[in-house]
Amino acid sequence: MQPGLSTRRTLDPHSSHALRRFVILLLFMAAWSLAARPQEPLQALTVMASAAAVLECLLAALRRERFNAAALNHWDGACGFLAIACLSRGLA
């Protein structure tokens, strides 16, 4: 390896903002589902993640974002929330 070459890879600012937004929303939804329905938190998380996926799709369509853009956007958030909804549905 050549000296001076960095192997650390970073996200562009738009992607890091989208990732931060996704993680913050996911943490909020997990905490809320535990507080709202302590007996069945996974069912509450499924409902909230499904609603978040629909809203992310709506925002992406309204902003006319490309589905296969180079940076992370609302479509990627929608896919992430859909995956969380499917996972929590399968575990419930």
Residue 5: per-residue pLDDT = 59
| Maximum pairwise Cα distance, the chain | 56
Supply the pLDDT for residue 88: 95
Sign of the dihedral through C-alpha 19, 20, 24, 27: positive
| Tens digits of residue pLDDT in 41-80 | 999 999 999 999 999 999 999 999 999 999 999 999 999 9
pTM of the shown model: 0.85
For residue 87, pLDDT beyond 90: yes
Domain ranges of the chain: 13-91
